[in-house]
Amino acid sequence: MRLERLLSARGDEVAGIIRNPEQGDDLRAAGAEPVLLDLESALLEEVAAHLQGADAAVFAAGAGPGSGAARKDTVDRGAAVLFADAAVRARVRRFLVVSAMGADPAHQGDEVFDAYLRAKGEADAYITRQEALDWTILRPGALTDDPGTGLVRMEARTGRGSIPRDDVATVLAELVDTPATAGLTLELISGSTPVSVAVKSVAGN
């Protein structure tokens, strides 16, 4: 929702995927066109049809707190893989993923959070193998609802930390328009660098 507001405010045409039609008005209020679709059950062709003509696709879905290990697999891994395949099918090259710090397909442990980190890691690994995508994987630290500061630390490895959701959205909005960050997996926490400067830095500018 935060990203949709930012993109819409700068004049982009934005669509957001929801599976609960009651959320449609919230998306419209944010300036986005709601697309009713369940990524846990949708067919590849169906998702690809909605992506036709898009300049970029951002995967930010998650099973969410309270969900079990099975849904970590179907959403955090399965839906991300499906969305990537759909982007390839629709020839949408620019592809951003909101992953998680610590995501690793080889992560050990039997807790639900361990399953989550494995699922995210498996999805990331799959997406990085897609030569038809100009992908960037963003791995924020612990997300907070604090107001954004516009100041971040973004590197291949930042170490643990937290970051407001507002600032994650601001970074994503910059990354969408920075194809030089394609092929990078980046960790993100609060810091002292303005977002635009941080993005230019990792892009090599």
pLDDT, position 205: 65
Alpha-carbon span 43 to 155, nearest angstrom: 35
Q: For the residues 46-56, what does the mean pLDDT come to?
A: 98
DSSP one-letter string for 175-201: HHT-GGGTTEEEEEEE-SEEHHHHHHH
pLDDT bin (cut points 50, 70, 90) of residue 105 is very high
Q: Which two tokens stand for residue 151?
A: 């100041």
Q: Does residue 126 have an active-site annotation?
A: no
Residue 67 above 90 pLDDT?
no
pLDDT, position 40: 93
Write the pLDDT tens digit of every residue in 153-162.
999 999 999 9
Catalytic residue among 32, 116, 136, 189: 116
Write the pLDDT tens digit of every residue in 160-187.
999 999 999 999 999 999 999 999 999 9
Q: For the residues 130-146, what does the mean pLDDT come to?
A: 97
Instruction: Find out whether 158 and 188 touch, Cβ atoms under 8 Å.
Output: yes
pLDDT bin (cut points 50, 70, 90) of residue 64 is confident
Rg (CA), the chain: 16
* Identity of residue 97: V
Q: Which two tokens stand for residue 54?
A: 């898009």
Q: Return the minimum-mean-pLDDT range out of 68-72, 91-95, 104-108, 144-148.
A: 68-72
Find the helix or strand (DSSP H, E) in which 164 lies.
strand 162-164
The pTM for the full model equals 0.95
